[in-house]
Structure formats: C-alpha cells, structure tokens
Structure 1
C-alpha cells in the first residue's frame, strides 16, 4: 500500500508563504495531478513530499509511515525531472541500472528490471546507445524507465513532458498513463498544462497561491468548478462570466435575459457558462461577433455580450462573419453561478 497523506503542510521562504496548511490524501495506485500556474506552490509541495525541501510545519505519510523526518532515500520514492537528468556518458542500460547498482542488487536482478522497464517504455532497442545520442523524447523515456526500475512505492514527476514538442507530448501522455497503471505505482504529477492534467489524472488538485482550491476527478473539476478561479483556469477557452441581478425568486437577469438560477440571498451573482455549452436559438444572449477563428471541426467566436468579452464554440458549418449578431442559448443544466465577493460556487 502506498497511500500518501499530507497533513497541515505549510512552507514559508522568509516572509513569503509558499504553502498554506495543505491537507491532501492520494489513494494507493492513484494518479494525482497537481495543477496550477507558475508560482502556485505545486513544485514546492512535490519537493516536500520527496524530501528535497523541508516543510515549515505539517506531516507527510506514505504507506502508513511518517516520512517527513526521513532522508529522500528512505521514503520509497523515485522522481522524474523536467530536464530528464540522465547521464550522457552512460548507455541507456547503465542509466536505467544506475540506482539499482547503488542498492547493490545482484546482476541478474538488475538485468531483469532494466529489460522489463525498457520494454515497457519501448526503448529496448536503445539499451546499448549512449544517452547523449538520444532525442529529447527518448531521454525522457529513459528517465521514466530508470524510476520504474527502482520499483518504488511512489513516483513523483515534475513537468516531465514540458520540454517535448506537441505531438510527442500527446504520444507520451498515452503511454505514460498505461505504463504507470500497469506498474500499480502511486503517482503525483506536477504540471501547468490543463490538457495534460485532464488526460492523465484520476484526480486533479488545482492549486492557487499556495492552496488547494479543489481536488476532484477531471470531469468534476471541469463541469462543477468549486470556485471562480477553477472555472477560469480550467478549459481552453475558459468559462465566460457575466453579472447577474436577482429578478424574482430563482430568476436572474443576465445581459437583459431572464434565466432560472439559484434561490440565493444575495441580489448580485456571477453567471458562468463554458463556450462549448451554447446553442444558437431564440431568446438567448445577444452576442455581437468580433472575431471568427476556424478550428477545424469547430469555430471559436470572440464576441461582446452586454459590453463584456464573451466566447462561443460553434459548428464549423455555421456561416458567420465579424459584425453579425447571434442569439446564444445556454444548454440545459450547464450554467454555473458564483458569489462575486468570495468566488465560491453557489
């Protein structure tokens, strides 16, 4: 069992508070992604779990054992870095075997683990090549294979695909999820790329300013953001937001149109809708088209609604031009509502 429990972890660097009382449980064999913009604290949290950084307060438990008082080598973890960290003067075989030799394992066991993980990462044919002769994608496969060969309880990954080109990232994402599921390893993966997070994670922990603002499945984070920040950060293009004024019990006026909404005590809320959750039909929001961007199967429209910027994703067969006015109707059940002061979902 390699359940990870983070209890009340905080970290400050002088007067700067990088992490604020983080509580998080990662289940055994779960693929957890820490997602957030640069500076949100996700890498700091990862380094505290790894033992590369000392928390200012709190505890880290792995597999029922408190590890924040242990050195990195005593925590049963392996780490994959953004810059690969492979040795260019060693062969692929020796790179993968490096940690195993440090543990003084028998040669037969080293051979077994190296060959097994190399085949998993589809680099078995490269074992005799020097790592300095490999492409970036191949070097990253070596780094992952080296981590898997240690048969750790936990693998920590710090933006491991960010240096790869877009097509290679897509291929590596699919392979990585399958390989880690097969290895039955608990994984914590740090990224700022929301597409990467959505495609890889069993659950996503969205971080902002040193706090976890929502930890849930990718579809839950996408469909039911806990805060305005999550709604604006997740999704490309992000959610649209418009002011909403109470117009009777459970009725709200948004850009001149009345919608059913929450029976809240406040008189002003924020109405939110994702660009792809809009249809064209009567009685909707009046949107003036400013920019038309063809995206293959869809068109992204940048509009103005009630004087505010607004985006809609529509079918590519729609004949629309800048200056046109459309009526955009939210799909049933897709609108979300937020408190404009706290940013919390209603």
Structure 2
C-alpha cells in the first residue's frame, strides 16, 4: 500500500519560507492534485516528496516507511515532468525501457512491461520511431508510459499537460484518469489549471502562500470553499463577494437586500455567478459588459459599486447600462469572516 504522509513539512530558502508546516495524508491509489498559483509551494512540496529537495523540518512517509532521508531511487516513485524529458536519440521502445534497463531487469520482463504500458497509452504503433520525430502529445504519452513501466508505488506529475494545446490537454486528461485508475497507482499531480484539477482529482489540495488552505473532493472545494481565497481562486469566473451589514439576529443587509446568514460579529456575502438569476426582487445590478458565450451569457455588472458577474441563459442578452435584479439561489449563498477570511 502506498499511503503518503506529509508531517509538519517546512522548507526555507534563506529568509524565504516556501512551505509552512504542511500536513497531508494521501490514501493508497488516490489521485491527489496540488492546485495553486505560481509561487504557492506546490512544486516545492512535490520535489520534497520526490527527494529532489530536502525539507528544512518535517517528515515524509510512503507506504509506512520514512523516506525523507532516502535518495529518489529508493523511494518507489516515478516522475513525469512538464518538459517530457524523453531522449530524442532513442526509440520510443528504448525510452520506455530506459529505467528498467538501469535496474538491470531481465529482457523478457523489459519487453513485457514496455508493450503493456505502450498499449495502455495507445502508442504501441510508435515503438520503433525515434521520440524526436513525435508530436508533443505523443512525447508526453511516452513520458507517462516510461513512468508506468517502472510499476512504482507513487507517480508524481509536475504540470505534465501545460505544454499541450487545449484540444490535446482535453484528450490527455481523460486518458490519464483512466490509465492511472487502471494501474492502481497513488498519484500526486501539480497544476495551476483548475479545470485539470476538478476533472482529474479524487481530492484537491488548494495551496496558497506555502500552506494547504483546503483539501477535499472537487465538489466540496467548489461548493463549500473553506476560505475566501478558495472561492476566489476556484471557478471561472470566480465567486462574487459583497460587503454585508448586520440587520438583526441572523440577518444581513447586502446591497439593500436582506438575507438570512450566520450568527457572527461580521460577515462577507459570497455567491457564484451561475447561482444567480434575473428576478423582480434581488441585488440591483447595472450591466457593464455582455459576453455571449454560446451555451450561456456572461455579464459583468456593478453591484453596490463592486464588479459582479452573473451567468445567464443564452437567450438573455441585456445591453450595457441596463438595470437588472439578480436573485441568488438561497442555499448557494456562502459567508466568510472578513478578519480571518475563513468560511462561517
């Protein structure tokens, strides 16, 4: 079993702290995505798990064995990088077989594993070609096949699809999820792309400022963000936020409208753009920009002087300057503490 336990892992580079006492447990065969903007610490954490960086403090355990003092080759892991890292002067077969030959594996076993993983990644017809002749998508398949051929306990992936075009990324996402589920390998996947995270992950760890802000399944992260940052980072467009004023016990006034809310000293109102609809009574919104997007219409408006977005039905096309009333779906309203920015 390849359960991964990150215990109080911190990493400093001189006076800069890249990770602040991170705790995270990843279950056997789980697909965990580390999601965050550049500089949030996700790649540093991945490199510490891989053994390419040493934690300043803390421990890394894989399969019940402490590994933070071990070199990468002794950790039972394989890595797939953003830049593919395949050898252009070798055939696809030799690229996939490279790690197996380094382990001095029997030739029959090398051939079996190469053929099996090539078939999994749908590149069996490319085995005799040189990788320098392949497209970016084909080279990425070779890199994944090479990792799978090692039959590792854990596969670590550092933004492996970021160099592919949008259509190839879509294709590879679906393929990766199926292949890794079939291989029953514990996977940690680093990305800044929330669509990749939502579509691939069993759980997402949202990172910010060297800390894990929330670790939960994609639906929970999207619907019930644990902090304001998560609501503002996840979603395209992200959550809308508005100032709320107390209006009695458990009541809050937002842009002139009163809503039921938490029993708290202060609160901030939040709603996702798709959880709004035009109504006779609702938040007063002055339309600024209208974007017809086919399946729906995205509007950017001003509510209480703040930018505010709503996703409307495609047949609704208000004009800039129009006044709308936008009613939120009551059970989709979320509230945050303005001081701590935690969910209420």
SS at match of 1:118: helix
Question: Cα deviations across residues 144-166 of structure 1 (Å, max 9, x unaligned)?
Answer: 00000000000000000000000
Alignment match, 1:278: 276
Provide the C-alpha distance between the structure 2 equivalents of 1:337 and 1:71, rounded to a whole number of angstroms.
46
**Aligned residue for 1:334?**
332
Give the conservation status (yes or no) of the 8 Å contact 2:3–2:25: yes
State the aligned residue count: 344
Partner of 1:73: 73
In 2: Cα distance, 1:282 partner to 1:270 partner: 24
Q: Distance in 2 between matches of 1:324 and 1:137?
A: 46
Query: Separation in 1 of the partners of 2:32 and 2:189?
Result: 6
Q: After the TM superposition, which residues 129-278 of structure 1 pair with which residues of structure 2 at under 5 Å, given as runs?
A: 129-264=129-264, 266=265, 268-278=266-276
Tell me by how many angstroms 1:83 deviates: 0.2
For residues 117-165 of structure 1, the C-alpha deviation after alignment (integer angstroms, 9 at most, x for no partner) is 0000000000000000000000000000000000000000000000000
Partner residue of 2:42?
42
Deviation at 1:319, TM superposition (A): 3.2
Tell me by how many angstroms 1:332 deviates: 2.4
Number of the residue aligned with 1:287: 285
Q: Following TM superposition, by how much is the alpha carbon of 1:318 offset from its aligned partner in structure 2, in angstroms? A: 1.0
Question: 1 CA distance for matches of 2:173 and 2:222?
Answer: 19
1:204 to partner: Cα distance? 0.2
Q: Give per-residue Cα distances to partners, 1:307-332, cap 9 Å, x unaligned.
A: 11000000001131111111100012
Task: Report the alpha carbon displacement of residue 283 of structure 1 after superposing the two structures with TM.
Answer: 1.4
SS at match of 1:333: helix
> In the alignment, which residue of structure 2 is the partner of 1:122?
122
Give distance in 2, aligned partners of 1:296 and 1:185: 39
> Aligned partners of 2:25, 2:235: CA distance in 1, in Å?
25
- Structure 1 position 202, deviation (Å): 0.2
Normalised by the length of structure 2, the TM-score is 0.99
Q: Is the 8 A contact 2:292 2:317 kept in 1?
A: no
* Whole-angstrom CA distance in 2 between matches of 1:7 and 1:71: 18
Q: Who is 1:93 aligned against?
A: 93
Contact 2:288 2:301 in 1 (8 A): yes
Residues 73-107 of structure 1 show CA distances to partners (whole Å, capped at 9, x for unaligned) of 00000000000000000000000000000011111
Question: What are the superposed Cα offsets for residues 159-180 of structure 1, whole Å, 9 maximum, x if unpaired?
Answer: 0000000010000000000000
Structure 2, gaps ≥5 residues long = none
CA distance in 2, matches of 1:199, 1:289: 32
Following the alignment from structure 2 to structure 1, what is the Cα–Cα distance between the partners of residues 307 and 82? 36
Deviation at 1:275, TM superposition (A): 0.2
